[in-house]
Amino acid sequence: MELHYTFFVMFLAVIDLVKSAEDCPAKCTCHWDDGKVECSNLNISSLPVGYKNASLVTQLMLGNNLLTTIDKNVLKTLENLMFLDISNNNITELQSETFANMPHISEIVLRGNSITNINTHAFLNLPNLRNLELSKNRISNLQENSFINLTSLKMINFENNKLTELKSSPFLNVPLLSVLFLGENNMSSFPVGICQSVPSLQSLYLDNNNIKSIGEFALDGCSKIAKLRLINNSLQTVNKNAFSCRRQSENKNDFCLEKLTTLFLNENNLTKPPSAFGAKSYVRELDLSKNPLKSASINDFTGLPYLNTLVMSYVPTSFTIGDSAFSKLESLTKLTLTNNRGLKNMSKTAFKGLQNLKYIFLENNSLETLSFDLLNWQNLVRFDARNNKLRCDCAVKWIQDKKMTLNSQVSSALTSLKCTEPKTLKGKLVVNVNPSYFGCPIDDEVSSRVKTGLVVAAIVCSLSIVCLLFIKYRRMIFMKLRMYSYRRHRGRCSFYCRQ
């Protein structure tokens, strides 16, 4: 009985498979339970047709084929399509209304084609489109109004194209666009006024371009932007009003990007930290790594009261850290200053007043000393200063102090530090160096104790000598005293006798 049932189930499965194949376009595989039509890697050159019931298609996968054009008439028949992947084909142009009036489409992937041009109205009236992927194409220009009435669009990716600038606004009525990728293009100027047409922008990625400066009011209107990345550009200057907004009701320009919390400016040509934060900003994370910085001073970090993470690593030039350089960063929690071979010295007051500093990383620099006064060591949670060029002299002797109460990781990091100079101590752990090798002068407290000891010793010695002399000559002393007493008594007697 069970055998007959098994054969019956298999028979139904075969019939269902045959029926599915009949309903599916040639070469493609259809999964009607979730509406997925898989046509990837088939070397097809046109959109598949032949759906018996096109209304069931919700996902169409066409990646890695030979498509050169997109037949918009075929797409219109897929009225319930939600996801479309046409990545890694040979499409060169998107005609007007290529993607138009598709009420359910939520994501379109066109990555890895050869698209050079997007015509006006190419994307039109797609009320549920949320993600649009156009990276790795050859787009050099975005025409005005290429993207119209995309009222649900939140992310669009133009990375790895050939864009040189955004002359006009390609966006019209795209109210929710919050993430815009423009990295790996040929842009030489910052897209000033980008938020005038995209007021909801929250994250702007401009990595790997050739942008040389950020001009005045560059982000005017970007009241919601939280993350700005310009990694690996040619940035040399940041206008002092770059992050300010034009205010019609006031005569002054203030930092108005109240949502901007993350700013990545690493791998550029900045010689000093930007001074575009006004009197007060809300930036919490700032990365200035791989910039040819010359110095860090107290005036370089103004207007950053909420900054809690600062990274200044892989600086290729020699630079110094001056007195109270970071003292205005009252909220700073984590500081990373690593792999800066040009960093030899820093002022012992560089971190003065930083009560919230918990994590500091100083490894792989060229620091020659590590002052006890540099940090509030008891306050640290993590610390690392390996692979520097420490000179084992009196300035680092404090590391041997076993009376300090430190976090176990901090204590371990300090005890692992090694000497580089002098050569006789090279490679030796600082904690294992004989204290006499540090050449420390006697401090005031010890000096006072020594002086007191010497005085006491001198007094004791003097008394001892007096005692010894007294013992040695006591008979003579007593005889002299008796003689003196006798003579005095005799003198008195003679006087009274004559009376």
pTM value surpassing 0.85? no
d(CA 97, CA 90): 19
Q: Kindly state whether residue 446 falls inside one of the protein's structural domains.
A: no
Say what the pLDDT of residue 139 is: 96
Q: Kindly state whether residue 479 falls inside one of the protein's structural domains.
A: no
Query: What residues have CB less than 8 Å from 14, skipping those under 6 apart?
Result: none
First-to-last alpha carbon distance for the chain, in angstroms, is: 166
**Other beta carbons less than 10 A from residue 382's beta carbon:** 13
Q: Kindly state whether residue 89 falls inside one of the protein's structural domains.
A: yes
Calculate the CA dihedral of residues 469, 474, 477, 478 and round it to 10 degrees: 160
Q: How many domains does the chain have?
A: 1
Q: Kindly state whether residue 97 falls inside one of the protein's structural domains.
A: yes
Say what the pLDDT of residue 264 is: 98
Q: Kindly state whether residue 64 falls inside one of the protein's structural domains.
A: yes
Q: Which of 194, 200, 238 is nearest to 220 (CA)?
A: 194
The helix/strand/coil state of 132 is strand
Say what the pLDDT of residue 496 is: 47
Query: What residues have CB less than 8 Å from 437, skipping those under 6 apart?
Result: 392, 425
d(CA 250, CA 206): 31
Say what the pLDDT of residue 280 is: 74
Which is it for strands 147-148 and 123-124: parallel, antiparallel or unpaired? parallel
d(CA 66, CA 61): 13
> What does residue 377 show for φ and ψ, rounded to 5 degrees?
-60, -35
Q: Which of 110, 112, 151 is nearest to 130 (CA)?
A: 151
d(CA 163, CA 169): 14
Q: What is the CATH number of the domain that holds 116?
A: 3.80.10.10
Q: Kindly state whether residue 358 falls inside one of the protein's structural domains.
A: no
d(CA 483, CA 487): 6
Q: Kindly state whether residue 370 falls inside one of the protein's structural domains.
A: no
d(CA 465, CA 457): 12
Query: What residues have CB less than 8 Å from 327, skipping those under 6 apart?
Result: 298, 349, 351, 352, 353, 354
Say what the pLDDT of residue 143 is: 85
The number of CA neighbours under 13 Å toward the Cβ of 309 is 9
134-152 pLDDT tens trace: 999 999 988 888 888 899 9
Q: Which contacts of 373-381 are long-range, i.e. CB under 8 A and separated by 24 or more positions?
A: 373/348, 373/349, 374/346, 374/348, 374/350, 375/351, 376/351, 377/404, 377/406, 377/410, 378/404, 378/405, 378/406, 379/355, 380/406, 380/407, 380/410, 381/407, 381/409, 381/410
Q: Kindly state whether residue 242 falls inside one of the protein's structural domains.
A: no
- Structural domain harbouring 85: 27-140
Low-confidence residues in the chain, pLDDT < 70: 1-22, 168, 247-255, 279, 402-403, 442-456, 469-470, 472-475, 477-478, 480-482, 484-499
- DSSP 8-state class, residue 374: G
Query: What residues have CB less than 8 Å from 83, skipping those under 6 apart?
Result: 58, 59, 60, 105, 106, 107
Which is it for strands 29-31 and 36-38: parallel, antiparallel or unpaired? antiparallel
